[in-house]
């Protein structure tokens, strides 16, 4: 699957975003090493910190289906430039060693970065 195709899946899941408070819809899609794809959206809550970001929704959906080996994750939102994952999602991406992070927006801007680029000095199991 190409980066563009993964972004298209993320865009589809963005439409499911539950974002009545921020109105900021985010979609994500994670690709397993075997080629399966799981999508996710942000899910907000009246108690704001309970909100789950799109990236973590996609990752948690995949992990709950027994997936642990990932090749890439795509994130998309209606942002001026490619949408970057928040710090908490970077940590979740790091936990599952997702090496390719594809950031995109609705205008078609797209940028792929590595895990090391997006979260240098990551806190990992080796630090425990």
Which residues are part of the catalytic machinery?
55
* 97 Rama class: left (phi>0) / alpha (psi -120 to 50) / beta: left
Q: Which stretch binds ligand THU (CB under 6 A): 4-12, 83-91, 98-106, 114-122?
A: 83-91
Q: Which is nearer to ligand THU, 50 or 128 (CB)?
A: 50
Q: Which is nearer to ligand THU, 76 or 126 (CB)?
A: 76
Residue 54 as a binder of ligand THU (CB under 6 A): the answer is yes
Residue 10 in the binding site for ligand THU (CB under 6 A)? no
Q: Contact 38/62 with Cβ under 8 angstroms?
A: yes
Q: Residue 66 or 94: which CB sits closer to ligand THU?
A: 94
Q: Which stretch binds ligand THU (CB under 6 A): 4-12, 51-59, 65-73, 91-99?
A: 51-59
- The 3-state DSSP class for residue 1 equals coil
Rounded to whole angstroms, how far apart are CA atoms 78 and 81?
8
Contact yes or no for 64/72 (Cβ under 8 A):
no
Q: Which of 1, 71, 86, 122 binds ligand THU (CB under 6 A)?
A: 86
The DSSP code for 49 is G
Instruction: Work out whether 44 is an interface residue with ligand THU (CB under 6 A).
Output: yes
16 CB neighbour count, 10 Å cutoff: 15
């Amino acid at each position: 699957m190409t980066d563009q195709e993964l972004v298209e899946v993320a865009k589809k899941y963005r439409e499911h975003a539950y974002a009545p408070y921020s109105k900021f819809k985010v979609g994500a899609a994670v690709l397993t090493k075997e080629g399966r794809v799981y999508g996710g959206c942000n899910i907000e809550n009246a108690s704001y910190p309970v909100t789950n970001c799109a990236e973590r929704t996609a990752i948690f959906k995949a992990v709950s289906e027994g997936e642990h080996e990932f090749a890439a994750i795509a994130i998309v939102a209606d942002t001026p430039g490619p949408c970057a994952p928040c710090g908490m999602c970077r940590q979740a991406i790091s936990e599952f060693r997702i090496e390719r992070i594809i950031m995109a927006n609705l205008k078609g801007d797209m940028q792929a970065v590595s895990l090391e680029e997006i979260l240098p000095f990551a806190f990992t199991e080796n630090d425990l």
